Amino acid sequence: MAGLGNLIPLLILFVVVGVASFLGYQVYLWSSELADKASKKMEQKNVSFTKNGGLKVGVKEMENERYTDKTQK
């Protein structure tokens, strides 16, 4: 009976560590998914981040005919 009393705190520790690790993993998955969504949304607006941490803004391509129409109006 004394051996069982010593195992209860160990089991509680394992449960607490298991729950904490599960929650940490879920937060990690959620944050990486959120970063991917933000990156895709920024790419749609022609904004991207460089490898050294800079910001690169692209210009949307415009057809030559459309460009001349807009500049002549």
Q: What is the pLDDT of residue 73?
A: 60
Listed in sequence order, the residues at least 6 apart from 47 whose beta carbon sits closer than 8 Å to its beta carbon are 55, 56, 57, 58
**This model's pTM is above 0.85:** no
CB 40 within 8 A of CB 48: no
In the predicted model, is pLDDT for residue 1 greater than 60? no
pLDDT tens column, 35-49: 889 878 877 777 777
Domain boundaries, the chain: 2-72
Angle, CA 29 vertex, CA 25 and CA 32 arms, to 5°: 135
Average pLDDT, the chain: 82
